[in-house]
Amino acid sequence: MKAGAAVLSCALLAGGTVAVARMGTDAAGTGGSGAEAQAPATETPASGAAAPTPAPSTTPVMVYDGGLSSGWNDIGWSPRELPKGAPARMRLFNYGGWILYRPKLEGGFGALTFRFSAPEAYGEFLEARLDAPGAATFPRVPVTPELKVKKDGEWTEVVIPMDLLNPRGETFDRVVLRASKDVGRDWVLFDKVALVPLPPEVAAALAAGGGKTGKGTGREARMSIDCTAPGHRISPLIYGIAFDGLHEKQDTHQFRMGASARRWGGNPTSRYNWKLGGAWNTANDWYYENVDIGVSSDDFLETNRKRGIQSALTVPMLGWVAKDTKSAGFPVSRFGEQQRDDNGNGNGTSRDGTPLKPGEPSLTSVEAPPEFIAEWIASIREKDKARGARGVQMYILDNEPMLWNSTHRDVFPEPLGYDELLKRTIAYGTAVRKTDPEAVIAGPAEWGWTNYLWSAADFAPGKMNHSDRLAHGNEPLLPWYLRQLREHEKKTGTRILDVVDLHFYPQTNVGVGLDGNTDKDTNARRIRSVRGLWDPTYKDESWIGEPVRLIPRMKEWIAANYPGRGISIGEYNFGAFRHMSGGLAQAEALGRFAQENILSAFFWQYPPDGSPVFWAFRAYRDFDGKGSRFQDNWVPAKAADGTSLFVSRDDSGKKLVAVVLNFNPDEAAQAQIELKGCGTLDSVRVLGYSGAPGGFAEQTPGAKAEGSLTQRLPPYSMTVLDLTVKKP
């Protein structure tokens, strides 16, 4: 990164503006013709002549900062106000927009930056492009979450790399900001519009929330690696992801992120009919529709087998599965007009918001008793024998059963209680065990805090809260469930459960999937929320309001009620996949899974290609693109506040791989790492990632001694230390 770009990067992220002297401003009036206005014509190259490559600009060009900068003209077509010393105000209804024009604009730029404020109801509505007279055409670039540097109150700051706006390096003389869909008449505010001299890779890193170098060597961060302390084997299944039926055939990047296992799971799998290939019901996620996803469970298992990925398969115990690929739970033709519908299939809610009483389950489904599941597993095992390899490494007993009366209320409208969960677990679990005696069986795959402790029946309308739990000795659901299964095994000799599987989603309003704000407070809270998995001292910052400490809690419940069970986090993610805060939270979670010695974890579903969360997986699974990875044995380590250090070594003890995280978005850290009992430090290779599109890149190693290493950690960064030692 060039020095000038680094300084500018810091200014953009820290203050949200370009740190340059204010240029002169000209007041502009309001107006708008209802169509895109045209700037005065300028000379263009003769037809067929190549456009000259603009010389790189070395200083930012401010376009609008509380007023138009000198030389710039407002030729937009939307109703607008440009008050002097204040943000521009636009009404962007009817696909409105704003054109900022400067004749004879010279210089090449790395990015367009600006900030805007709009009603949340508008959603993703904005696009940007460049323009010029003549034949040159420029892409329209949607302002998507990955281009939003941060959201600070009502303002969203945007960095758009020039390789998106101007991939052919054409000459341009105007900037266009416009609505890509029809929105309302509320004001949209714009300010601090600038063309800045950032290299494309720096601009992209900024857009992901990283890309800064920080000042100086950084704050001191003392760390230690203790090879004399007891460690443990790391389960490779902690690097799992989930199957996405809609994108299975096109998203090949999911197989380049190093995932060790894939889970066939989620709401629709509760209604999967294996006899119909790709048939399941979308439940309340999408209008209770039976659909054919075009991928069968056999396809899923075979893809995993060919790629060397282990398989976790959800087996329904709801009792009903899709009967075809066309029926729906609440067709308008039968239930009348509803709040929303999809081509005549309603959402099950009347126009006044009242949930509709469902029809018979047979409207969409056929019965699926334990024998139906046993037949399915028998068919899988027959295929296993033919190919000489086990296809399923873990069977999961359905998905979030305490939400069935919501997600699948068209066939299961009554809330599930303690006794019914146990009854179904034993019935379907026994069918699995008898058909596949060596099976690894996991459950109950519950969604979160409420149903770790209570049943759905505890919150049934018209009943006293927690009445079901009180009827079972006021014991939390999970400990009761485990003890009952232990007693069942003692009485019958049939082991139903091998793995305790629970889902974990932070309740601290940090988002799920691609969603989630990326303002400073949310980013910090997103990273802190990982502590709910492992830290007994962390009080959850949501409505929960007490320590969740999920993994230690599960260990205690297992030890007291059914010793020997493994632990799986069957679903989780921390939102903001395209932002460094999401990537750092993910890297932190993978390190803690290794530290806490759990059996498996399955990210929901998988991150976009090249996103910070994608590279968080690669930090552990293939950090150099050549197969180098976190090793198989956990080594205890300590790190300073604001950082994390996760360490592994190979069986010989001669190779150490560490993942070091700096959670500070603005300040570098100077890691001073002491190695205790590991041997004499021999070679050091360092790879770092701070949001650049190319992922991990070689970094200059810091100073090393026989038993210590110093390494600078950029702000908001993941650093991999690939070390070799000479054994004492």
Q: What are phi and psi for residue 179, nearest 5 degrees? A: -80, 135
Nearest in space to 146 (alpha carbons), one of 156, 155, 154, 136: 156
Name which of 469, 5, 460 is nearest 197 in CA terms. Answer: 5
Please check the confidence at residue 282 and state whether its pLDDT lies above 60. yes
Beta-carbon neighbour count of residue 635 at 10 Å? Answer: 26
For residue 651, pLDDT over 70 is answered with yes
- DSSP per residue over 193-239, as a string? EEEE---HHHHHHHHTT-----SSS-EEEEEEEETTS--EEPPGGGG
Question: What residue has token string 């003389």?
Answer: 173
- 5: how many CB neighbours lie within 10 A of its CB? 20
What pLDDT shows up at residue 51? Answer: 42
Residue 33: pLDDT band by 50, 70, 90 thresholds?
A: very low
Bridge partner residues of 635 (DSSP) = 647
How does pLDDT run across 228-251, given as a tens digit for each residue? 999 999 999 999 999 999 999 999
Cα–Cα distance measured from residue 467 to residue 459, given in angstroms and rounded to the nearest whole number: 8
Between the alpha carbon of residue 545 and those of residues 56, 476, 542, 573, the distances in Å are 53, 18, 6, 20
Residue 613's H or E segment, with its range, is helix 612-621
Question: How far is Cα 262 from Cα 601, in angstroms, rounded to an integer?
Answer: 10
- The tokens describing 119, both together, are 């009603």
**Model pLDDT, residue 146:** 67
pLDDT at 57: 53
246 contacts: CB under 8 Å, gap ≥ 6: 293
Residue 49, pLDDT above cutoff 90: no
**pLDDT band at 58, cuts 50/70/90?**
low
Distances from the Cα of 254 to the Cα of 224, 278, 514, 537, 602, angstroms? 34, 20, 16, 35, 13
Residues of the chain with pLDDT > 70: what percent?
A: 91
**647 in Cβ contact with 723 (< 8 Å):** no
Give me the mean pLDDT over the 156-178 stretch: 90
Query: What is the mean pLDDT of the segment spanning 648-654?
Result: 97
Say how far apart CA 704 and CA 681 lie, in whole Å.
8
Nearest in space to 628 (alpha carbons), one of 659, 592, 585, 661 = 659
For the chain, the maximum distance between any two Cα atoms, rounded to a whole number of angstroms, is 90
pLDDT for 708-719, tens place per residue?
Answer: 999 999 999 999
Bridge partners of 264, per DSSP, are 313
pLDDT tens figures, 87-142: 999 999 999 999 999 998 877 788 999 999 999 899 999 999 999 988 788 999 99
pLDDT, position 554:
98
Res 41 pLDDT > 70: no
* Per-residue pLDDT at 14: 29
pLDDT in tens, 395-453: 999 999 999 999 999 999 999 999 999 999 999 999 999 999 999 999 999 999 999 99
Asked whether the predicted pLDDT for residue 8 surpasses 70, the reply is: no
Number of residues in the chain = 728
Distances (CA, A) of 722 to 147, 226, 628, 640, 698: 32, 16, 9, 20, 11
Q: Is the pLDDT of residue 152 over 80?
A: no
Residue 610 zone, left/alpha/beta (φ > 0; ψ -120 to 50; rest): left
Q: In angstroms, rounded to a whole number, what is the distance separating the alpha carbons of residues 420 and 430?
A: 15
Confidence (pLDDT) at 105: 85
pLDDT score for 22: 22
Could you tell me the two tokens for 676? 């205790």
Q: Identify whether the C-beta of residue 69 lies closer than 8 Å to the C-beta of residue 23.
A: yes
**Rounded Cα distance, 565 and 498, in Å:** 5
β-pairing verdict for 68-69 and 697-699: unpaired
CA-closest candidate to residue 313, choices 240, 367, 253: 240
pLDDT score of 217 more than 70: yes
In angstroms, the CA 691 to CA 577 distance is: 12
d(CA 343, CA 328): 11
Residues 556-580: what's their mean pLDDT?
97
pLDDT tens, position by position, 661-719: 999 998 999 999 999 999 999 999 999 999 998 999 999 999 999 999 999 999 999 99
CA distances from 82 to 77, 87, 183 (A): 13, 7, 20
Residue 626 is classified by DSSP as: S
Give the list of residues 6+ apart from residue 671 with CB closer than 8 angstroms, or none. Answer: 221, 223, 643, 645, 660, 702, 709, 710, 711, 712, 713, 719
Residues 6+ apart with CB under 8 A from 434: 374, 494
Structure tokens at 518: 């990326």
Alpha-carbon gap, residue 310 to 393, rounded angstroms: 6
Residue type at 37?
Answer: A
| Neighbour tally for 26: CB within 10 Å | 14
Q: Is pLDDT of 46 > 90?
A: no
φ/ψ of residue 422, rounded to 5: -65, -45
The whole-number pLDDT of residue 185 equals 95
Report the 10 Å Cβ neighbour count for 66: 17
What's the confidence (pLDDT) of residue 5? 30
pLDDT at 26: 28
In this structure, the strands spanning 310-315 and 394-397 are parallel
Q: What is the mean pLDDT of residues 293-312?
A: 96
Look at residues 726, 549, 597 and name the one whose alpha carbon lies nearest to residue 652: 726
Average pLDDT, the chain: 90
Distance of CA 616 to the CA centre of its chain: 11
pLDDT over 80 (residue 15)? no
Q: What is the pLDDT of residues 343-361, one digit of tens each?
A: 999 999 999 999 999 999 9
CA–CA dist 573, 311 (Å, integer): 20
Bridging pattern class, strands 637-638 and 279-281: unpaired
**pLDDT(36) > 60:** no
Q: What is the pLDDT of residues 519-553, one digit of tens each?
A: 889 999 999 999 999 999 999 999 999 999 999 99
